[in-house]
Amino acid sequence: MAEITAAMVKELREKTGAGMMDCKKALVAKEGDLSAAVDYLREKGLAAAAKKSGRIAAEGVVESYIHMGGRIGVLVEVNCETDFVAKTDEFHELAKDIAMHIAASRPEYVSREEIPGDVLEHERSIYRTIAENEGKPEHIIDKIVEGRVDRFAKEICLLDQPFVKDPDITVEELLTAKVAKIGEKISIRRFVRYERGEGLEKRDDDFAAEVQAQMGQ
């Protein structure tokens, strides 16, 4: 099977507007055939959903989530196109799920585009030093470094994180499915997460599991 490169994923994303992970999955499924991957995304309804990405999503809600005892607090702004959709139970449930996900998974940014360049360069420098200390061949160090930076970005970006209620999909894939179902552009504009005593006391390692258990109730 042909190697799926970042350039191929980027080209497919530009053609369809679909999410990066959806584009990569489509290319893998179609063994690198770009045209077949476009059709694959259309058949899945993902390209159609992505076409809505150019619309303006100015309505929506600012949803909150306070963990029991007031230990964790989250505010997240989730936008849609119309006030009608913003008032539906399904949209409010989505916003609440996203707020709870943020509480459990501790993202730092909504998307990769928000990560400052100096942060990425700092991580690249660290990963390069690690690879050199591991004795990796010079000709593959760049590839190793970029792979580790990619994993780092996935861990701290909300849209790339596995959704806590269904780890088989990312938060971005959750939004894409909702867009296809509701028929409107949906976007997460911003969020803020507070943790009582953050920086002053050790975080409870069981917190994420506790929130996930609550979400499953």
Compute the mean pLDDT over every residue in the chain, rounded to the nearest whole number. Answer: 85
In this prediction, residue 182 has a pLDDT band, given cuts at 50, 70 and 90, of confident
In the predicted structure, residue 209 carries a pLDDT above the cut 70: no
Could you give the strand order of the β-sheet that contains 72-80, starting from the edge strand earlier in sequence? 59-66, 72-80, 187-195
Same domain as 149, residue 166: no
Residue 1 lies inside a defined structural domain of this protein: no
Q: Which residue has the higher pLDDT, 78 or 40?
A: 78
Higher pLDDT, 123 or 199: 123
Contacts 24+ apart (CB under 8 A), 119-126: 120/149, 120/153, 123/148, 123/149, 123/152, 124/149
Tokens 């999410």 belong to residue: 19
In a domain, 20, yes or no: yes
Residue 188 belongs to some domain of the structure: yes
Same domain for 99 and 172, yes or no, is yes
Q: How confident is the model at residue 40 (pLDDT cuts 50, 70, 90)?
A: confident
pLDDT band (50, 70, 90) for residue 15: confident
Query: pLDDT tens digits, residue range 82-133?
Result: 889 999 999 999 999 999 999 999 999 999 889 999 999 999 999 999 999 9
pLDDT confidence of residue 96: 95
Which CATH number belongs to the domain containing residue 170 in this structure? 3.30.479.20
Question: What pLDDT shows up at residue 166?
Answer: 95
46 and 62 inside one domain: no
**36 with 103, same domain?**
no
Number of domains, the chain? 3
**pLDDT score recorded for residue 208:** 61
Q: What percent of the chain has pLDDT over 90?
A: 50
Whether residues 99 and 171 fall in one domain? yes
Same-domain pairing of 121 and 24: no
pTM above 0.75, yes or no: no
pLDDT at 50: 59
Identify whether residues 60 and 104 lie together within a single domain: yes
- 66 and 100, same structural domain? yes
**Residue 102 sits in the same domain as residue 29:** no
pLDDT in tens, 48-58: 565 666 666 67
Name the burial class of residue 60, with classes exposed (0-12), middle (13-18) and buried (19+) by CB atoms within 10 angstroms of its CB.
Answer: buried
Residue 19 parent element (H or E): none
Q: Do 168 and 61 share a domain, yes or no?
A: yes
If asked whether residues 102 and 166 sit together in one domain, one would say yes
User: In the chain, pLDDT over 70 holds for what percent of residues?
Assistant: 84
Quote the domain boundaries for residue 28. 6-52
Q: According to DSSP H, which parts of 78-116 are helical?
A: 83-86, 89-105
- 145 within domain boundaries: yes
Which pLDDT score is estimated for 44? 75
